[in-house]
Structure 1
Amino acid sequence: MTVELTALTLAALLQYVQFVMYALPANIELGTGYTMSARDREPSRSMTDKTARLGRAFTNHFEGLILFAVAVIVTQLSGQNTPFTAVCATVYLFSRIVYIPAYALGWRPWRSIIWVVGFIATFLILAAALF
């Protein structure tokens, strides 16, 4: 398996880890009565800031993972894997791992900087496939 595909696989598995990191405290804080409901109304209890941030980081990773998956698939199918695209894929994965505590703990402006690093790494993979 290429470095890019390995990074994509690990990034997808990271999404599962993020789900657990968010879902466990959310179920405790909101109660399973709410979390298992259709959620047609706002919860009667609120989550802590940290749990809410973990939820937003989880959602944010879905958004970034889509672009990263496209970048890796394009690179893979076109046979344009290079050491450069491998480094970019590794940087993306590392940035997503570091982004979780950065967001959960409210590291400003580092959270945004870490996000930009992963976003640029994905962009560079796509650009490398075109040029």
Structure 2
Amino acid sequence: MTPELYVLTLAGLWQVVQFALAAIPANRELGPAKTMSPRDPQRMDKPLTEQMSLRTGRLFRALNNHFEALILFTIAVVTVSLSGSSGWFTTACAWVYLAARILYVPAYAYGWVPGRSIIFAVGLGATTLMLLAALF
């Protein structure tokens, strides 16, 4: 396993932790009748994320943001690993990505402005550099 694949595995586990960080307060706030429902629009007053507290809604948005970022990071890791481009630089970029994604959660939850955007940009930049490293 390349170091980048190792970090990808940790990023996947971080996604599970993020899910718990969002789901536990959502269940406390809304109750299982709502959170386990089929969430049909005609049965709901408004989307669940709009019924949650500010912080819990932010945790769900951070979770969804990581799903989106994880797709691109996975492409970068697979490309680096399969092309034989793995090295100290791509490994460092992978760790920077993971650190940024971990810091992103409290940054989003507590509304750090412009910190959240800067942290996001660092993670995206690390992923982009990995993709570029695989090309050269």
TM-score range, shorter chain: over 0.9
1:88 to 78, 89, 93: 93
In 1, Cα distance between equivalents of 2:58 and 2:93: 26
Q: Counterparts in 2 of 1:1-131, with a 5 A limit?
A: 1-40=1-40, 41=44, 42=46, 46-131=51-136
For these two proteins, the number of residue pairs brought into alignment is 131
* Aligned partners of 1:74 and 1:126 also within 8 Å: yes
Following the alignment from structure 1 to structure 2, what is the Cα–Cα distance between the partners of residues 43 and 91? 34
- The change in CA–CA distance for 1:30 and 1:82 in structure 2 (over 3 A counts) is same
In structure 1, distance between residues paired with 2:91 and 2:101:
16
Q: Indicate conservation of the 8 Å contact 1:34/1:43, yes or no.
A: no
2-structure distance, mates of 1:95, 1:50: 19
Which blocks of at least 5 consecutive residues in structure 2 are unaligned? none
Q: Can you list the C-alpha shifts for 1:25-67, whole angstroms capped at 9, x where unaligned?
A: 0011111111111111226882111100000000000000010
The amino acid across from 1:122 in the alignment is T
Task: For residue 6 of structure 1, report the CA deviation from its aligned partner.
Answer: 1.2
Give TM-score scaled by structure 1 length: 0.96
- Code of the aligned partner of 1:63: E
Classify the secondary structure of the residue corresponding to 1:39.
coil
